[in-house]
Copies of this chain bind each other. A is one copy, B any other.
């Protein structure tokens, strides 16, 4: 059965999923890049950026798995870009250039309506102003029987977790400290929500944990 899942989501030792002060220069917040060292080093990510090489092994297995059977994505507004409030114009089309690494429909949560954007390589950005449940409904429909992947950020994942809509959450704890930013597990009781740890593998670069209900 198709799942709603979060995959390859990295957090710091002190629990942050993004650094503070996100901006055009720091899409992941200040210091946030360090969270993703394990992922950037993998063959899967190197290939995504059109490069040769990269590491195989456990980190790469998780990176590769994160893209398997994904029929649609859901992103929070801040993961789509640094602009807050109403869209000033149609120029911002995400952080990822003309050919984003999604290759399927991507539903962006926002309070501000905007026309869908068809990108190269199969990615279409749709903007949903009707809330997280409507976005999931649309994503499920678009996914055509495949999984829906919730990409983030922290606030978006928290919203879906709190209403019990995430089936599987793969978190990678990186050996980095961020000090401040957005904490993933604040004010969420994962035990009450029915999650348990169903997989635990550690590598020199990250500790991978899969939480499932």
- Tell me whether B211 and A177 are in contact (CB under 8 A): yes
- Size of interface on A: residues with Cβ below 8 Å to B: 30
Q: How far is the CA of A203 from the CA of B200 in the complex (A)?
A: 10
- Tell me whether B191 and A175 are in contact (CB under 8 A): no
Q: Determine chain A's interface SS by DSSP, over half rule.
A: loop
- Tell me whether A173 and B176 are in contact (CB under 8 A): no
Q: How far is the CA of A180 from the CA of B193 in the complex (A)?
A: 11
A69 sits at the interface (CB 8 A): no
Residues of B within 8 Å of A190, CB to CB, are 14, 177, 179
Max chain B Cβ within 10 angstroms of own Cβ: one of A15, A191, A195, A203: A191
Interface residues of A (CB under 8 A from B): 13-15, 31, 171, 173, 175-180, 185-186, 188-193, 195-197, 200, 202-204, 207, 209, 211
Tell me, rounded to whole Å, the shortest Cβ–Cβ distance linking A213 to chain B. 11
Q: How far is the CA of A177 from the CA of B171 in the complex (A)?
A: 13
Sample of 18 further A-B pairs with CB below 8 A, known A15-B185, A180-B189:
A13-B197, A13-B209, A13-B211, A173-B173, A175-B197, A175-B200, A176-B197, A177-B191, A178-B191, A179-B189, A179-B191, A179-B192, A179-B193, A186-B186, A200-B204, A202-B202, A202-B203, A202-B204
